Structure 1
Amino acid sequence: MPSAGPFFMRMRRVIAETLGAVAGGYLLLTGGMAVFQRDFIYHPATEPPPPPAEIGLPEMVPVTMITGDGYVITGWYAPAQNPRAATVVLFHGNAGTLAHRARKARAFLDAGFGMFLAEYRGYGGNPGKPSEEGLYADARAVMTWLSNAGIPSAKVVVYGESLGSGVAVQMAAEAERLAALVLEAPFTSLPDLAPPYLLPGSARLLMVDRYDNAAKIGPLEMPLLIIHGEQDGLVPAAMGRALFAAATAAEKELSIHPEAAHNDVWDLGGGEAALDFLARRLVK
């Protein structure tokens, strides 16, 4: 009877080589994601937007700010018609530009609010490349500009949309006081959105930009509204619910829209929820 030894030795070698190839491929994949992670996170439209008047916002004018790290950033602003009304600052998601949020700005302006459409470095003709700390610096420049224009943070509503929810939560954490915080399709943290094929815990080790909303939202005291679509396939509604549960604000509301996904939640009830929430608290 022939010996089975050589057969098992060959099998062990094949298995070892296969496992080595799989491990090498996985390391190559995760290494590529680590190196190019910001290309996966940020999808800016880099061309300058059209003038505000051309997209239905004749009240808004471009304004420029200098960030703490020296970038000149342009956003759009319109004052409230009623000097006692709050100003909504909108930090948009990871794609497009501020111009793609014109319908939202139009709704807030028509409701009597002032409006600031914030823009980020690397987006809409602005210089630089986006990053978590970079977007925070851009947002701080907006908040400083408003303060210098005579609009204190207590008269500011910070609205964060998707990726912008991370910027909004950070600004809320830094502000002495805000009129309100509104989060549309927010996530708990970017590592929590990592692909399921990554080993548990590896995303937190690999990702540089984290926007850890879950770690920051608890102590925030301003009125809070969280809007989410139940059909959201990009940021699960469970994350909105988790943030709502973690929040300790005395005034907080969760608005879940059964038919809405990620990009249409504003149109399928989220916009009405935001305007109603703010009107009940801020419009006199």
Structure 2
Amino acid sequence: MWSMIKEGYEGLVMTVIRPLRAQYTIEDLGPKHALINDVVTHRVDLQLKNPGGYTLECSWWKPKTTEKDAKLPCIVILHGNSSCRLGGLEIVTHAIPAGFSVFALDFAGSGLSQGKYVSLGYHEQSDIATVVEYLRNSEETSSICLWGRSMGAVAALMYAQNDPQINAMVLDSPFSSLPRLATELVDEGKLGVPKIAVKLVMRLIRRDIKNRAKFDMFKLKPIAKVNKCTIPAFFVAGNQDELVGPHHVSALYKLHNGPNQLFSFQGGHNSPRPNDFFVQATQFLRVMIGLMPLHLEMCPSAVSPKKKPLKVFKNPLPQGESLDSIPGMSVKQLKEAIDRVGYGDVSCIEKQDLVDLVLKLYARHLRTSQQYSEDDLEISPRTSSLTSSPTGSAGAAKDPATGSSDSKCSTAKSPIARSQSHGNIDVSS
């Protein structure tokens, strides 16, 4: 029985503070210059230091306007606990045409940023503060909105309670209380812990998280202060959410003390969000910041006169799954995802290498399926995942950036890594 208890509590601890980390390269974000639904856009990649001294990897998508030194409203994308900047690409494709610039970051402990642990919203508040301060000092923004998912939504809600100058928020699947959520996961048997041991397990989890990640999970209760929040909020709940039940979102929505809206959809925690969600959420933000209607004029000279048709890459994920579900897939499911797009035979030893490759393939599908014109950039796993024969023979596949090869993963063919070009545009910086 003790072994079951230990396994269950260790599993939940790692789910909270050290889920499988999304790894990718900056090229997976797409080209720095692109047409996003006919809006000329430039992406700036930058680094910021949070109060803990960790470097945060960030990207800022800026639509080009006809007005010099124009200030635009900015949406800050805040990802979930096992996600990264890539998860915000779909938001970018809806927000840019609506007249927003979009800023995305990898929280400390996530993606390419420094840091060992995440905290489901507790320490992430300081990362948001770092970004917001940078944006306000840039003098390029007219207003700032937060768009968070899961952990990012909790971080947004808790941060906003101390910063009334935030203009509006989209809160996708936030939990109302971490102790309650953890108790539900244990009590419902999802971690294989006997019900008689729930209280013991909760004490162990609290102690372990406090020692490792330096925060008290019992203090992570957005519901305790949401009634003091007056910032407009668009709440989102999946009716079949198996992780954060819709009752969490409903409770926050009912106690929230500002203009709000509740959007429900048929799907789970990691399900792809319906198009109607992006439309309504973007509309809500526009109305709340007083920019309705908004017409963003494009600079005619910045648009390529020879716009080529887009090439849409296949979705490697089965129906009903999204980027956030990739880290939780089994090795078999990951290989099926790779095979689904015809990438070729892949024999990887490390699960992380498979996760990285599927994440890259899905990111490319997401970009090209959202009217995101770009060059046909080559997709390849990380240097450590690239491959060759075990002996490193002459047939080894090489990293195009370093020319090095690795013996972890062998690919028989790669129809995605081709030199065909599509959707090129000529945009000056």
Q: TM-score range by the shorter chain?
A: 0.7 to 0.9
- Give the aligned residue type for 2:178: L
Distance 1:265 1:255 in 2: 14
What is aligned with 2:205?
206
Matching of residue 62 in structure 1 with residue 45 in structure 2:
yes
- Give the aligned residue type for 2:285: L
Give 1:35 deviation, angstroms. Answer: 6.0
Q: Please list every run of 5 or more consecutive structure 1 residues that lacks an aligned counterpart in the other structure.
A: 1-21
Give 1:268 deviation, angstroms. Answer: 5.2
What is aligned with 2:267?
260
1:76 pairs with one of 59, 70, 73: 59
- Give the aligned residue type for 2:85: L
2:165 pairs with one of 177, 184, 202: 177
Contact 1:81 1:112 survives alignment (8 Å)? no
Q: Give the TM-score normalised by structure 1.
A: 0.79
What are the within-5 Å matches in structure 2 for residues 1-284 of structure 1? 22=1, 24-25=2-3, 28-29=6-7, 32-33=10-11, 36=14, 38=16, 42-50=19-27, 52-54=29-31, 59-79=42-62, 83-132=70-119, 133-150=122-139, 155-194=143-182, 195=185, 196=187, 197=195, 199=198, 203=202, 206-207=205-206, 208=209, 210=217, 211-249=220-258, 251-257=259-265, 259-264=266-271, 266-267=273-274, 269-282=276-289, 283-284=291-292
Q: Structure 1, residues 167-196: CA drift from partner, whole Å, max 9, x if none?
A: 111220221321102101111122222221
Q: Structure 1, residues 27-50: CA drift from partner, whole Å, max 9, x if none?
A: 5346535764645x6332134442
Residues 202 and 31 of structure 1: is their aligned pair in 2 closer, same or farther, counting only changes over 3 Å? closer
Distance 1:162 1:48 in 2: 23
Give 1:216 deviation, angstroms. Answer: 2.6
Q: Please list every run of 5 or more consecutive structure 2 residues that lacks an aligned counterpart in the other structure.
A: 188-194, 210-214, 293-429
State the secondary structure of the residue aligned to 1:125.
coil
Residues 117 and 31 of structure 1: is their aligned pair in 2 closer, same or farther, counting only changes over 3 Å? closer
State the secondary structure of the residue aligned to 2:51.
coil
Name the count of aligned residue pairs. 258
Distance 2:22 2:100 in 1: 27
Residues 268 and 205 of structure 1: is their aligned pair in 2 closer, same or farther, counting only changes over 3 Å? farther
- Give the aligned residue type for 2:268: A
Distance 1:37 1:252 in 2: 30
Residues 69 and 179 of structure 1: is their aligned pair in 2 closer, same or farther, counting only changes over 3 Å? same
Distance 2:180 2:275 in 1: 26
Distance 2:9 2:29 in 1: 42
Give 1:127 deviation, angstroms. Answer: 1.5
Give 1:123 deviation, angstroms. Answer: 2.3
Instruction: Flag the structure with more relative contact order, 1 or 2, with Cα contacts below 8 A and sequence separation at least 6.
Output: 2
- Judging by fraction of residues, say which structure has more helix: 1
Distance 1:204 1:266 in 2: 35
Distance 1:73 1:61 in 2: 14
Q: Give the TM-score normalised by structure 2.
A: 0.54
Distance 2:9 2:177 in 1: 20
State the secondary structure of the residue aligned to 1:261.
coil
- Give the aligned residue type for 1:113: F
Moved more, 222-231 or 259-268: 259-268
- Give the aligned residue type for 2:27: P
Cα RMSD for the two superposed structures = 2.8
Give 1:110 deviation, angstroms. Answer: 1.6
- Give the aligned residue type for 2:131: V
Residues 35 and 93 of structure 1: is their aligned pair in 2 closer, same or farther, counting only changes over 3 Å? closer
State the secondary structure of the residue aligned to 1:158.
strand
Distance 1:172 1:205 in 2: 31
